[in-house]
Structure formats: structure tokens, C-alpha cells
A and B are shown apart, each in its own frame.
Chain A
Amino acid sequence: MSKPVPETVITHENTRQPAAVGGHSVVVGRDKPLRLDCGVTLAGVTIAYQTYGALNADCSNAILVAHALTGDQFPVRDGGDGKPGWWEVMVGPGRPLDTERYFVVCINVLGGCMGSTGPKEVNPGTGRPWGLDFPVITIADMVRAQAMVLDHLGIDQLFCVIGGSMGGMQVLQWAVSYPERVFAAVPIATAARHSAQNIAFHELGRQAVMADPAWNHGDYLNTGTNPRAGLAVARMAGHITYLSEAALRRKFGRKLQDRDALSYGFDADFQVESYLRHQGSTFVDRFDANSYLYITRAMDYFDIAAEYGGHLPAAFVGTRVRYCVISFTSDWLFPTPESRELVHALNAEAANVSFVEVETDKGHDAFLLDEPEFHETLTGFLNGAADRHGLGRP
């Protein structure tokens, strides 16, 4: 209990206007506080979420979409700004997550910066933004908060929980923490534990943020600065890991940006440089630097076998969840062997598991893109599971 939080009912509701981002928001953990892995207890936590489609009469058609590191609660964006959501190809009428059949819920993670309680929001104990006083959160904490939102929505059991990358970690955490609340689980492009290489990349990103003087030891919201340069570099480094050499070569090669010859300087001569700079600068407009630190940390800490003496199958003993594990051939951030390790562990428990590796050169990002084989496989799995779950066939 390093950072005790007052056990009073805290109204985070007005610290940020949900209307600004659209969607819904709920305060959870008032009666029963949210107990975090780090030992801190949060009473009254605002969680922002969005829903699509309609919950059926027996509440059996709910799908929870878990977003990735820099995602949000809007896989489909119905705001007026014309910006598409991050999973428009997957969610909607006639899409694999068919909103005419399923009730799709997507929740901004605890620690996020799109309306859920996180380092950017006001600490009710001080009246100032949390900054680095915000407790370190884990994937399990995010899932605990999500479970509270589902309680609020009256959903006892999810038909399916699905997500890629960090979303996939949440999927696994759901299956392990709340097996009775999950009928089917689809962890995509993910792993049962964050690898040393991935922790290393995250540390690179965090150090870039922290090296920016504008970060101000995490207190930039109180000092009116913003570590834009640091966060942009973190995003650029991250973005490289989401792609593949083949995708970069196909997209950019060594093509020059708006020029016919090398400049013999440090401008963005190459298209790939210009692209990365653009990725960095647009990212800082929508993301909070401290949130980036907290959420990357949560991923680094993720190791679903840790509680089970490092023995992965023990996490899934007696599991009745139907799993569909999906990986992509060119994903070097969460390569197929990590999915395969998960599948071996599930087989060791004779779990109901499907495992598909999709051939693509688009790298880790493939899970966000229009990959017909991926979508067809997923649709087939969901149809089979829906049939078994009494939701009928389309």
C-alpha cells in the first residue's frame, strides 16, 4: 500500500467530459473498490466504453473487443469528425463481428487517456492530474475494471472476448481470471508473456518520453508543457515494430520524399522517414505521454503463467472456454512460436482450441487490416461457437 487512496466515493465523472469523445462512461468500484495488483485500492473509477448492436433478451450475444496499446473504445467511430475507428473492417453489419447478431462492447482500458481513469485524469485526493502518482496498473487490473463494467451492463457471460496484441493479453487474462464468464476467446497476434525483446522496445519508448525535458518528471499537465518530441520518437520506434521489412520495402523502398536527390542533410530524405515522422506527430495529438508509460508497463508485466509457477498449462486447468488462437507469418513482435506455445499449453489441458497462422507480409499490424483469410477464419470460428452457444447459425 505505497499510495493509499482515500476510501471515499470519488466522482471522477466530471473530471473529463465524456461528451468530448462520445460513447458512454460509468463509475465503477464505488461499493467494492478496485483492488490493483500493486496493492493500491481505487474507489470510484471512471471507465469509458462504447457499444454497438443490441443485447439479446437472455444477454448471451455480447462480444467484448479489447483494444491494443494505443487503441481506444471506438473500433468503429460514429463521431462526426470523419475519422475511421481502428477496427472498422472487423465490426459492423455483415462484418465478422456482425453488429446485427452480436452486442459488441469496447472499453477504454484503465490507465488509458480516452475517458477512463488514468494518469491524465484528476486525482481526487489532490485535485490535480495524477501524473506519476497514478498507481502502476497491470493487464489483470484492466480486466478487473472491465468485469465491473460488464456487471453494470448486466452481462454475466460474454459470448466472446477478442483482441489483438495487448488486446490479446486481455483476452487471455479474461479466460484465466473469469473462465466462467467467457464462452469463447480469440487471442490474436499476442503471447502468454511479454518477451524480453518487446520489453526492450517499450523501454526505448519510455526513455524517449522521459528524456524530453517537457515531460517534467511526469508533471507536464501541471506545468503546461507536453513531451511531444519524446512521445513521437516512442511512437516511431513502436511503429517500426508493427510493420515488417517486406511491408516497408513494398510501401517505401528507398524512395525519396518530395525530392530528386539526396539532400546531404538530416531532413526526411526518404519516404519512410517522412512516414514515421508523420506517424509520430499525429500520435501525440491524440495520446497522453504518461498513459503510454503506464500501458507499456502493464504489457511488460504481463506473464499469465507467473501466478502458476511459470507453468503455462496450469493457468488453463479444466478450462471450458473455446479458444481460437491466431498469428501472422510476418509478425516479428508477437511471432507465431509464441502463439504456438500457448496452443501447446492449451493442448496439455485438452482445451477446445483452434490455431491458425495467417500468411501475410504486413507484420504485426495485419490484425488491424483487411486480411481475407483472417476474417474468413474468424467468421467460421465465431459461427461454430455461436451455434454451440445457442445463438443459431446466420
Chain B
Amino acid sequence: MTEFQPRGRSDTIRVDLLVISDLIESGARVLDIGCGDGALLHYLAHNKDVDGRGIEISQAGVNACVRQGLSVVQGDADTDLRDYPDKAFDYVVLSQTLQATHSPREVLAELVRIGRHAIVSFPNFAYWRIRWQLLASGRMPETEALAAPWYETPNIHFCTIRDFVILCRDMGLRIEQRSFLTHEGKTGRFRSTGLWANFLGEQGLFVLRGP
């Protein structure tokens, strides 16, 4: 029978997930939406003793998570968040998933309803390399982080850091923290709609609260 094997060393995870985990205090109740293979949940469970749950759309991802002993259900961010009660979690994490949802605005509203805080990270479409590719080649940009061609990408709702700030403002959400991640994995904070963050940031990372 397959033995329980923690996946690699628990301190080696993607840099954006590491940044997210730093935002979460020990022992918190966390829901990771679009948890993939469970890397963040696994890290949080072993390093921060969180009470973690996950939702993942791909069955293969779910099975991989449950095999590691993580509590994960197969589900869709667009349709299945409405099941959860208000403020059921301290943190609801939506990492690199917002751009793949059908209704990002509704999903954001659910995040801040379910969680006391929502942590959202997404690829910034105004990142300078993307701007440059579009300007220079006139074709849909493909980067390391966004590798699929336009006709195959699951990402249907791209936005920029500036777009996201404006949407939060429109929805009356409180932005508790706004930061960006560079290609090299450095993070920086910014104010307002972040003119430079919107240029330098490969990803935007926000902590939100409901209105």
C-alpha cells in the first residue's frame, strides 16, 4: 500500500504561496479555493498548524490532496461557494484562480462573506513584459506564468492591478493590504491604484475585508 509521504520538504513552495502563508497566523481556519495539488494547505498544516480546507475543480488535484491527508472537496469557485456559511473561516485564499472564474465579481463577494479576510492573488495583465509583448508582437502574450495560447487558456477574465483596485472600490471592499510580486519573487507594497506596481508587478496580492 502507498505510505503517507509528505510532499518534499515543507519549506519549499512557490514564492507567492510563501508570501500568502506569511499573512496567515498560526491556528487559523483557512479555506483555499482552487488549491491545486494542495501545496499551500500542506505547507500551512505543517508549519502553521492551521485548520485548512480546500476546493479544487480537477478531480486529479482533489485526489492528490486527500491522499496527503488534506481536507479537500471537488468543487467550482463559481458555483459552490454559496454553500458555506458567513464568516466560517478566518482566511479565504484565492490564489491564481480569479482570472479563471466566470464571475469574478460574484466570487469576490462570496470570499469576503465566507472569510473574515480574503487573500487574493492574480497575474497582473499590465506587467511590463506583457505590455511589451502585446506592443511589439501584436499577439496575445504568453509568459512563463501564463503559458497557454489564447485558444486553450483557462484564464478568461484577465485584469490588471489597477483594474482590481477599482473593482474593490466599486464593491465597497476594504483593502487591508495591497502588494505586488516581481518576476524575481520580490514583494512590494503600494498605495492607491499603484502606477509602478501595475508596471513592475507580475502578480498582484491583496488582503480584503467585506464592506
Contacts of A96 in B (CB 8 A): 1
Bound Cα distance A324, B51 (Å): 16
Residue from B2, B73, B89 in contact with A353 in the complex, judged by beta carbons closer than 8 Å? B73
Given A357-B59, A359-B59; A376-B85 close (CB under 8 Å): no
The yes or no answer to A239 lying at the interface (CB within 8 A) is: no
Distance, CA A154 to CA B30, complexed state (A): 36
Contacts of B59 in A (CB 8 A): 356-357, 359
Task: Report which of A94, A359, A380 forms a contact with B68, defined as CB distance below 8 A.
Answer: A380
A78 within 8 A of B: no
Interface membership of B190, Cβ < 8 A = no
CB of B69 closer than 8 Å to a CB of A: yes
Instruction: Report A347-388 CB contacts with B as 1/0, cut-off 8 Å.
Output: 111101111111100000000000001011101110111010
Tell whether B117 is near chain A: CB-to-CB under 8 Å: no
Interface flag for B178 (CB, 8 Å):
no
B4 interface residue (CB < 8 Å to A): yes
Are A380 and B66 closer than 8 Å at their CB atoms?
Answer: yes
The verdict on A347 contacting B69 (CB below 8 Å), with A375-B1, A376-B2 known, is no
Instruction: Report B-chain residues with C-beta under 8 Å of the C-beta of A325.
Output: 73
A254 within 8 A of B: no
Q: Which of A94, A353, A356, A383 contacts B69 (CB 8 A)?
A: A383
Specify which chain B residues have a CB less than 8 angstroms from the CB of A354 in the assembled complex.
62, 65-66, 70-73
How many residues on the B side are at the interface (Cβ–Cβ under 8 A)? 26
Tell me, yes or no, whether A297 is within 8 Å of chain B by CB: no
Contact A95/B1 with A348-B83, A350-B88, A380-B69 known, Cβ cut-off 8 Å = yes
How many A residues, CB 8 Å from partner? 34
A8 to B195, CA, bound (A): 85
The answer to whether A347 and B80 have CB atoms under 8 Å apart is yes
A98 to chain B, nearest CB (A): 8
- Contacts A343-B73, A347-B84, A350-B85; A356 near B4 (Cβ below 8 A): no
A379 touches B62 (CB 8 A): no
The yes or no answer to A344 lying at the interface (CB within 8 A) is yes
Could you say which residues of chain B place their CB within 8 Å of the CB of A94? 1
The answer, among B70, B71, B84, B89, for a CB contact under 8 Å with A348, is B84
A90 to chain B, nearest CB (A): 10
Closest B residue to A336 by beta carbon equals: B74
* Complex-state Cα separation, A373 to B68, whole angstroms: 13
Of the candidates A348, A381, A394, the one whose C-beta lies within 8 Å of that of B3 is A394
Cα–Cα, bound, A96→B88 (Å): 32
Q: Give the 10 A-B residue pairs with the shortest CB-CB distance, closest first.
A: A384-B69, A380-B67, A350-B88, A383-B4, A355-B73, A347-B83, A354-B66, A376-B2, A344-B83, A377-B66
Which A residues form the contact surface with B (CB < 8 A)? 94-96, 98, 322, 324-325, 343-344, 347-350, 352-359, 373, 375-377, 379-381, 383-385, 387, 393-394
B residues near A (Cβ < 8 Å) are: 1-4, 51, 53, 59, 62-63, 65-75, 80, 83-85, 88-89
